[in-house]
Structure 1
Amino acid sequence: MRLLLFTGKGGVGKTTLAAATAARVADSGDKALVVSTDPAHSLADAFGARLGAEPSEVDRGLWAAHIDARALADKSWPALRAKARALFAGLGIEAIDAEELAVLPGVDDLLALSEVVRLAADGPWKAVVVDCGPTAETLRLLALPEAAAGYLGRFGELRKLAERMARLRSVLADPAVTGVRLVLTPERLVVAETRRTLTALALRGIAVDALIANRLVPKPRRWSGPAANWLKVRRSEQDAVLSELDLALPLHVVEHRSAEPVGLPALRALAEELYGSDDPLAAGAERAPLLAIAADGPDQLLTVAFPLTESAALDLARVGDDLVVTVDGVRRLIALPLMLRRHAVTDAEATATGLVVRFAPGDEEHP
Structure 2
Amino acid sequence: MALILTFLGKGGTGRTTVAVATAKRYAQEGKRVLLASLDTSPALSLFLGETVGSQPTDIAPNLKATYLKSAQLLEESWEELKTLEAQYVRTPFFKNVYGQELGVLPGMDSALALNAIRQYDASGAYDVIIYDGISSPETLRMLGMPEILSWYVRRFRQVFLDSDFWKAISPFAQPVSSAVLSVDLSADNFTQPTNQVNNILDDGKAAVADPNRVMAYLVTTADDISLATARYLWGSAQQVCLTVGGVILNQANLTDEIAQSFDPLNIHSVPKIPAQDWQILTQALPDFSASATTAPRSISIDVAKRQVSLFLPSFDKKQIKLTQYGPEVTIEAGDQRRNIFLPDSLRGKPVTGAKFQNNSLIISF
- 1:70 Cα offset (Å): 3.3
Q: Would you say the 8 A contact 2:250–2:269 is kept in 1?
A: yes
CA–CA separation in structure 2 for the residues paired with 1:193 and 1:323: 27
Partner secondary structure for residue 182 of structure 1: strand
**What letter is aligned with 1:60?**
P
Q: Counterpart of 1:246? A: 262
- Cα pair distance change 1:179/1:83, threshold 3 Å: closer
Q: Identity of aligned pairs, percent?
A: 27
Where does structure 1 lack aligned partners over 5 or more consecutive residues? Answer: 91-102, 217-234, 360-367
Partner secondary structure for residue 339 of structure 1: coil
CA–CA separation in structure 1 for the residues paired with 2:105 and 2:206: 21
CA–CA separation in structure 2 for the residues paired with 1:245 and 1:301: 27
Q: Counterpart of 1:221? A: none
Q: Counterpart of 2:290? A: 282
Q: Counterpart of 2:178? A: none
CA–CA separation in structure 2 for the residues paired with 1:289 and 1:328: 15
- Cα pair distance change 1:311/1:213, threshold 3 Å: farther
What TM-score comes out, normalization by structure 1 length? Answer: 0.74
Q: Counterpart of 1:138? A: 139
**What letter is aligned with 1:64?**
A
CA–CA separation in structure 1 for the residues paired with 2:358 and 2:221: 24
- 1:344 Cα offset (Å): 3.1
Q: Counterpart of 1:333? A: 339
CA–CA separation in structure 2 for the residues paired with 1:150 and 1:311: 25
Counterpart check, 1:349 vs 2:355:
yes
Counterpart check, 1:168 vs 2:177:
no
Q: Deviations over 1:97-136 (max 9, x none)?
A: xxxxxx9863331121221222233254332222222111
Q: Counterpart of 2:9? A: 8
Partner secondary structure for residue 356 of structure 2: strand
Q: Would you say the 8 A contact 1:114–1:168 is kept in 2?
A: no
Counterpart check, 1:200 vs 2:216:
no
Q: Would you say the 8 A contact 2:5–2:216 is kept in 1?
A: yes
Q: Would you say the 8 A contact 1:316–1:324 is kept in 2?
A: yes
Q: Would you say the 8 A contact 2:56–2:65 is kept in 1?
A: yes
What TM-score comes out, normalization by structure 2 length? Answer: 0.75
CA–CA separation in structure 1 for the residues paired with 2:133 and 2:290: 20
Partner secondary structure for residue 345 of structure 1: coil
Partner secondary structure for residue 205 of structure 1: coil
- Cα pair distance change 1:145/1:342, threshold 3 Å: closer
The alignment of Structure 1 onto Structure 2 pairs a total of residues equal to 313
Q: Counterpart of 2:312? A: 306
- 1:32 Cα offset (Å): 1.9
Matches within 5 A, 1:120-139: 120-139=121-140
CA–CA separation in structure 1 for the residues paired with 2:201 and 2:327: 24
Partner secondary structure for residue 291 of structure 2: coil
Q: Deviations over 1:7-64 (max 9, x none)?
A: 3222211111111111111112332221212343422121011011221221122221
CA–CA separation in structure 2 for the residues paired with 1:128 and 1:199: 23
- 1:83 Cα offset (Å): 8.8
Where does structure 2 lack aligned partners over 5 or more consecutive residues? Answer: 92-103, 158-189
- 1:312 Cα offset (Å): 6.1
- Cα pair distance change 1:150/1:319, threshold 3 Å: closer
Q: Would you say the 8 A contact 1:32–1:126 is kept in 2?
A: yes
CA–CA separation in structure 2 for the residues paired with 1:302 and 1:150: 19
CA–CA separation in structure 2 for the residues paired with 1:358 and 1:195: 26
- 1:326 Cα offset (Å): 0.9
- Cα pair distance change 1:73/1:302, threshold 3 Å: same
- Cα pair distance change 1:186/1:342, threshold 3 Å: same
- Cα pair distance change 1:326/1:23, threshold 3 Å: same
Q: Counterpart of 1:111? A: 112
